[in-house]
Structure 1
């Protein structure tokens, strides 16, 4: 069983419609959809926006379905100057940039009690993701890099520069590292996939490119699942 978590209704709804043998399971606030997608057994769910929503949903999915893998799909703002709109960022690792316990000598972004700074994605799947995206989106680039997560929508040049300089981030968003943290604590391999919808600057064009980025997310996931 592969767990797929999205933050937004639009991206999850597209995948749910394509599921065969679909079954809806309601648990608390979550609507899980079990079925077969691209020949794989999957469970899909919308987590909602933000770290708390993402973490709670991830634990609920793991407790109920015991997935072999967790994939987090969605869109993000570019941080690295090499990353542009509609490019794909595949998580090498993920961390929470708004965790600050430096007063107790922890590195910025490190959660006390965790073994290291950030959470490592399943390295076995990273190159496969690059290969798939190069085939279906040859006009755009793929990057394996760091995904940074915080409870804010980044739209200023100053914050973008800070995240690049401090964390060497490829992109920023609002759920990935929380999902990665819970997956890691439960020993479930994960990968975060983020298509870029804006460049996290003062000319943020999130709404303009959101629909196209979601379309790319859906097409990528369908092909990636076929290869896993």
Structure 2
């Protein structure tokens, strides 16, 4: 086994880098959202009202706009067809809240139009969940077996984790596209003025960076697994 199994693990730096990137991205989206939550929209519409208008204009009448607790816990549930808006979005008439609500509507529209990356991400979810759950147990169990069996289990664990990484990567075009749709619709329907759209764009851009950070952290973790255990097949 490599020397760092018995002492300092230099590959842990990759995990720390990933964690720092995610923390910075999370702090940025919160600060940006809080900043533009102070900017009341000229239309006076709340996040929930904007969502209803966008959905109806897209011919979507079977999606329910719901109020959920928390801050920035907003999400679209394709299986239940619910568009869930958090405390800071549902009843707020800020440009930030309307932007987030429109973004979630973007996912509903993607679902309606069978947007390929969203369909692919939905299909990957169960495999990614199972993969992320089994990855480390398989790797750790593999360390206690002989060379061939252990290598097989470890490689299977790394493969399982790679599905979680794939999910993160597929998520990127889904989120970017939802934000583009949101900004286009908000401007086209006059829900936000030309002077307000740049503020909303900043909020959605900051939110998108959290997904980029998550994908980067997952890739770094996968790289760490390969560095830690990839050479086991060659070790006696």
TM-score interval (norm. to shorter): under 0.3
As a proportion of its length, which structure holds more helix? 2
The structure having more radius of gyration, on CA atoms, is 2
TM-score using structure 1 length: 0.26
